[in-house]
């Protein structure tokens, strides 16, 4: 019991002595006072910075690109001003050989906090945001404790070698961070390029899709190369790896590569493009997007079919809007032989003209096709220019109007008829035998 009390007393005395030596000293009090004063100045100057961030054109490139950045920085105005003032104060103290350890610690913690706030606003993935937070706080803590440089040295010494190639833990971490940063920038630039390309009316949709794919692939490859070069990795070391990848593609990824190449061919020959109405196999719909591996086709029932690009190259495809979107529809109509054919034709044209989606030019026409067994067969022909909105619905609308007009004007629809002719009756003698059996005159039993 006495031993525990004595140990506690020794630790308490050591803590008090450490606080007196390192905490309650003039240098630390001055630094804390300076940090508090700079915080007050930052709070007073923050509204001015917020108004400055609000200044800018409401349209054009500033609204599209700079406005989101300004909106993200506006809540951090006071912290940005404070860290800038703290950095100036720490720099001035170091230049004058004054203690600045506490100011530098506050700068490190504040920088980590700002990085976390910005990452949480930019990174939508919760895991990625937490990872950035852990890294930022870890670097700030190591920097405050003067353990950052020794930690970097220790990570650099932890390495393995393959001939002339040396891979360290620090190099892997740097490569991962650089690759993440460059790929994120490549994705951001590719999205900006896609918006610019989409706003160019001089390019057709297929050319726009091809340009988007080329820019995206180029930026991602460039980001990968720059990330490796930034950490000093010799790209010639990947020659063997590239050969292995090529061999794997040749044997195991034939379909994948075939679909990729087919997608490029579809974009180059412009046989299909976004918005086209196509029919392939049992699928009928309009093209939503042209992907690197597949084509997205949305049917009238809302189902989205992802058709591999290879099938559009190797199979027969009906493109209803390849050269234009005008499509002619044919509706067969049967009328009774006793009906007025001329009147029936005029009413059929009137029925088509009464539907909004039917084009007025070329005009609807109705032809007499044949004299059938039970009806006079007419055929109503009309044009539409929006097949992506459906074909069966416009045909149904025309036929319903035709039904109403024919009934209003006494034009009769026929139905199958059969006439049964009986041959003249032949008398048959029926005899009753002694056993009660019936028989015909020629001896056959009835």
* pLDDT tens digit sequence for 9-29: 667 666 655 555 555 566 667
State residue 366's pLDDT score: 93
The dihedral built from the CA positions of residue 55, 59, 60 and 64, taken in this order, carries a sign that is positive
Which of 61, 120, 58, 114 minimizes the C-alpha distance to 86?
114
CA distances from 155 to 149, 162, 358 (A): 10, 18, 74
30-60 confidence digits (pLDDT tens):
777 888 888 888 888 888 877 777 765 555 5
Question: Strands 159-162 and 165-168: what pairing?
Answer: antiparallel
State residue 446's pLDDT score: 45
Round the CA-based radius of gyration of the chain to a whole number and report it.
42
How far is it, in rounded angstroms, from Cα 300 to Cα 386? 13
CA distances from 292 to 4, 72, 166, 422 (A): 72, 34, 37, 72
Cis peptide leading into residue 76 (ω within 30°): no
Cα angle for residues 173, 177, 183 (degrees, 5° grid)? 140
How far is it, in rounded angstroms, from Cα 114 to Cα 137? 11
State residue 127's pLDDT score: 67
Token couple for 280: 């392939």
Burial, 433: exposed, middle or buried (Cβ in 10 Å; 0-12, 13-18, 19+)? Answer: exposed
Contacts of 337 (CB under 8 A, 6+ apart): 375, 376, 414
CA distances from 85 to 46, 70, 105, 265, 415 (A): 13, 20, 14, 58, 94
State residue 398's pLDDT score: 92
State residue 445's pLDDT score: 47
> Please, what are the averages of pLDDT over each run of 10 residues along the chain (446 residues)?
64 61 63 81 82 63 59 76 82 76 74 72 65 70 68 74 69 77 79 76 66 78 76 61 63 72 76 82 83 82 85 82 80 89 92 89 91 89 85 90 91 77 63 60 48
The predicted model scores a pTM of 0.42
Which of 348, 339, 336 minimizes the C-alpha distance to 415?
336
How far is it, in rounded angstroms, from Cα 401 to Cα 44? 75
Contacts of 176 (CB under 8 A, 6+ apart): none
Find the DSSP H helices in 58-168.
61, 67-73, 77-95, 101-122, 126-144, 148-157
- In the beta sheet, which residues pair with residue 431? 439
Which of 78, 82, 80, 79 minimizes the C-alpha distance to 37?
82
């Amino acid at each position: 019991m006495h031993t525990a009390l004595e140990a506690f007393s020794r630790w308490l005395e050591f803590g008090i002595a450490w606080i007196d030596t390192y905490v309650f000293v003039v240098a630390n009090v001055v630094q804390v006072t300076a940090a508090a004063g700079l915080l007050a100045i930052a709070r007073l100057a923050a509204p001015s910075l917020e108004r400055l961030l609000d200044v800018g054109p409401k349209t054009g490139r500033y609204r599209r690109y700079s406005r989101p950045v300004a909106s993200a920085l506006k809540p951090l105005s006071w912290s940005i001003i404070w860290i800038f003032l703290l950095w100036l104060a720490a720099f001035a103290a170091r230049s004058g050989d004054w203690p600045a350890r506490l100011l530098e610690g506050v700068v490190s913690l504040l920088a980590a906090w700002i990085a976390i706030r910005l990452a949480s606003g930019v990174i939508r993935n919760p895991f990625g945001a937490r990872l950035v937070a852990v890294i930022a706080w870890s670097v700030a803590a190591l920097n405050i404790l003067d353990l950052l440089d020794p930690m970097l040295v220790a990570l650099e010494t932890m390495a393995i070698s393959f001939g002339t190639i040396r891979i360290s833990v620090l190099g892997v971490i740097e490569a991962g961070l650089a690759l993440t940063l460059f790929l994120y920038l490549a994705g951001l630039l590719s999205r900006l390029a896609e918006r610019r390309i989409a706003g160019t009316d001089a390019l057709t949709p297929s050319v726009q899709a091809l340009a988007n794919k080329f820019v995206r692939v180029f930026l991602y490859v460039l980001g990968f190369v720059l990330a490796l070069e930034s950490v000093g990795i010799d790209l010639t070391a990947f020659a063997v790896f590239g050969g292995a990848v090529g061999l794997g593609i040749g044997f195991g990824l034939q379909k994948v590569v075939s679909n990729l190449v087919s997608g490029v061919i579809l974009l180059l020959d412009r046989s299909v493009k976004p918005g086209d109405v196509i029919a392939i196999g049992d699928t009928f719909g309009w093209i939503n997007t042209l992907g690197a591996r597949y084509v997205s086709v949305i049917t009238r029932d809302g189902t989205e079919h992802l058709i591999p690009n290879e099938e559009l190259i190797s199979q027969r495809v009906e493109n209803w809007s390849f050269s234009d979107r005008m499509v002619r529809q044919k509706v067969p109509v049967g009328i009774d032989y006793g009906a007025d054919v001329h009147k029936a034709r005029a009413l059929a044209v009137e029925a088509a003209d009464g539907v909004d989606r039917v084009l007025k030019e070329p005009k609807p026409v109705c032809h007499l096709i044949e004299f059938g067994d039970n009806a006079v067969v007419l055929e109503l022909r009309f044009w539409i220019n929006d097949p992506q909105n459906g074909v069966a619905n416009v045909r149904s609308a025309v036929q319903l109007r035709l039904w109403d007009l024919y009934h209003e004007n006494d034009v009769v629809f026929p139905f199958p008829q059969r006439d049964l002719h009986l041959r003249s009756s032949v008398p048959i003698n029926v005899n009753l035998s002694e056993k009660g059996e019936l028989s015909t005159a020629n001896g056959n039993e009835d």
